[in-house]
A and B are shown apart, each in its own frame.
Chain A
Amino acid sequence: MSKLPNKEKALGMYRQMYLIRKYEERIYYLFLEGIMPGTIHQSTGQEACAVGMLYDLRKDDYMASTHRPAGHDLAKGVSLRGMMCEMFGKEDGCCHGKGGAMHTGDVEVGALVANAIVGGNLPIAAGVALAFKMQKKDNVIVCFFGDGATNEGSFHESMNAAAIWKLPVIYVCENNLYSATTSIALTCNMPNPAADRAVAYAIPAEVVDGNDVLKVNEAAAKAIKRARGGEGPTIIELKTYRHGGHSRNDACQYRPKDEEKHWFDRDPVKNFRDVLISTQLATEQELKTIEKAIESDIDESVEYAQNAPFPQIESALADVYWEGK
């Protein structure tokens, strides 16, 4: 069993995990109702990865996400309202309706605009880390990617570069067993597609239960310490599972039912809740109060976003190039 955090941190982590879960659920319903535009790639089921990895980062540390960014962004501190408005393509969205579901982010809280080219954020994160090093800053960056990205050339090129330059970057593979709809077992001849390949670059790696927020957080703490201390990159492979499909039209027919049951029984949010209760870090009443507050925040954000103005048409052409702001 992992070492338990203090009450404040435990409740803080639970608050974020519950927020991500309810946010993604609400987005899903809005989608089914035909109210939400665009496409969605949801992180339901992977909440412990985002929260465990990012909880101990400083605000001026950075995070680079993927086409599935909502959990990461919320955990790094992008505002709920900014996220929800972006999903609706509104002016008050974190990217003013220009980015959308796959490109959310807020530099003010160290969330780089999410990058939806699989493997595209890996060299960028190395570059951010190289800048920290050149500028003699002690910041670090956490870079998320999926199991599918480990088969991209950019994965191998970036691991190599991060290793030779000892960059303060933490590469986090959220291995949810499927690259879009294809089992990673069919496309990688190793059980741990990120961690097993780390040896090729002499980067320390760890395989962690990605549905256990405390275990993820322990691994994060070690990697952050290494990166901040100038000891270089770490690869963390988190075993986890999507509760839903790859994107909005994917009903997940390809996943065996017993596999789904195995993972759904290990629900990261429910399990952490049980830990909080069984260890008496929180009472049922305290958790209910937190949950109610989050649900009401989400209601409010949806209400706000639906009524918020769309961007001015004239803004469509803005920000292609610098305009002297």
Chain B
Amino acid sequence: MIKLSYREAIRQAMMEEMERDPDVVLIGEDVGCYGGCFQVTPGMIERFGPRQVIETPVSEECIVGVAVGAAMMGMKPIVEVMYGDFSTLAADPLINHAAKIRFMSAGQQSVPLVYRTPMGSGTGAAAQHTQSLEALFTNVPGLKIVYPASPTDAKGLMKSAIRDPDPVLFFEHKLYGAEELVPQEDYLIPIGKADIKRQGSDVTIITYGKTVFTALEAARVLENDEISAEVLDLRSLRPLDTEAILASVKKTGRVVVLHEAPRFGGFAGEIVSTIVEDLEAFSALKAPVVRVCGLDMPTPFNKNLEQQLPPSSKRIIESVLAMFRG
């Protein structure tokens, strides 16, 4: 095992894959000598040169479209886009091209690209550099979507994403310095498999991305009230590990669905539907399912105001306690 930060884990996964396969290339703005907007890629251009690490113009639609074309010719591009918010500019090549080309061509063509971008608040970057836009893409068949929280999952999922024959959106949270012991050998985390980050028996907190840490914090506090909370980290949003969700719900009978993205129309709604559509899981419920999400507002700049937006452990704890009081 070796201690790696979230950003180091992602970098190591990319570098090991680029070493293994020269068709794996990194494309993006400032990914060369600057090392990327969030310093995920330092040293990569020095190691792999400008053929495998390609600095691009500030042209998100174009560079993601370029990645689509290169992927169709057998390359395995990893595109870095500085902020998830800029995904709106890349939406055409992702939604209309990457997600459709295999289908429209009846399997003649594949688009094995990885689209990497960070999401979420907490950086003081205000309304256009902090959004959680995953739900814009989860409704698009043809895309796979992963959102790892831990360095171990980030490394294993990045490798799986690179080796996957379909387009994978790889969303990152911004706790890039979070560290963990990560296996040193080559390993993969399969796309579409959730992970129980903490075992519990009284309530399940279902989440992904940065809020996995918020959930774990809440679970620790709930212990004082003798409530045993299970934290289920989805890791992949599409395909979704329905089996793991239902199994945990049947075990605990109480559910909090948690994410930083706004509640209205958010991915939590999909998870709630998955639970209530299953007769056994529905019958196992001892309390109504609760969503704890980001507030329905753009991110304000002021730090105190910004902190109001993401779900806090306090909000989770209150929701859980209310279930038991009810």
A interface with B by C-beta (< 8 Å): 95-99, 103, 105-107, 112-113, 115, 117, 120, 122-132, 134-135, 153-154, 157-158, 160-161, 164, 318-323, 325
Contacts and interface: CB of A to CB of B under 8 A. Distances in A.
5 contacts: A95-B105, A97-B106, A112-B109, A122-B65, A319-B105
A107 B73 contact: no
Contact of B68 (A127, A318, A322, A323): A127
B105 to A, nearest CB: 4
B58 to A, nearest CB: 9
B198 interface: no
B102 A127 contact: no
Contact of A135 (B73, B97, B141): B73
Contacts of B109: 107, 112-113
Q: Could you say which of B54, B64, B92, B103 has the most chain A C-beta atoms within 10 Å of its C-beta?
A: B103
B73 A132 contact: yes
Question: Interface residue tally of chain B, by bracket?
Answer: 35 or more
A78 B148 CA distance: 43
Given A112-B109, A126-B66, A127-B72, A103 B104 contact: yes
A117 B97 contact: yes
Interface string B61-85: 1111111111111110100000000
A120 B97 contact: yes
Interface string B95-107: 0110001111111
Given A113-B101, A319-B106, A320-B102, A120 B92 contact: yes
Contacts of A134: 23, 25, 51, 70, 75
B93 A125 contact: no
A123 B72 contact: no
A157 B73 contact: no
B73 to A, nearest CB: 3
A296 to B, nearest CB: 28
B69 A123 contact: yes
A124 B25 CA distance: 16
B62 A157 contact: yes
A323 B106 CA distance: 12
Given A106-B108, A154-B61, A160-B57, A320 B141 contact: yes
A320 B110 CA distance: 10
Contact of B56 (A113, A153, A161): A161
Given A123-B65, A126-B62, A320-B141, A99 B72 contact: no
B105 A125 contact: no
Interface string B130-158: 00000000000110100000000000000
Given A124-B69, A134-B75, A157-B57, 11 more contacts: A105-B108, A117-B96, A123-B66, A128-B70, A131-B72, A154-B65, A154-B92, A160-B62, A161-B59, A319-B102, A322-B110
B4 to A, nearest CB: 29
A174 B102 CA distance: 27
A96 B106 contact: yes
B108 A113 contact: yes
B61 A123 contact: yes
A126 B69 contact: yes
Contacts of B69: 123-131
A325 B72 CA distance: 16
A97 B25 CA distance: 34
B200 interface: no
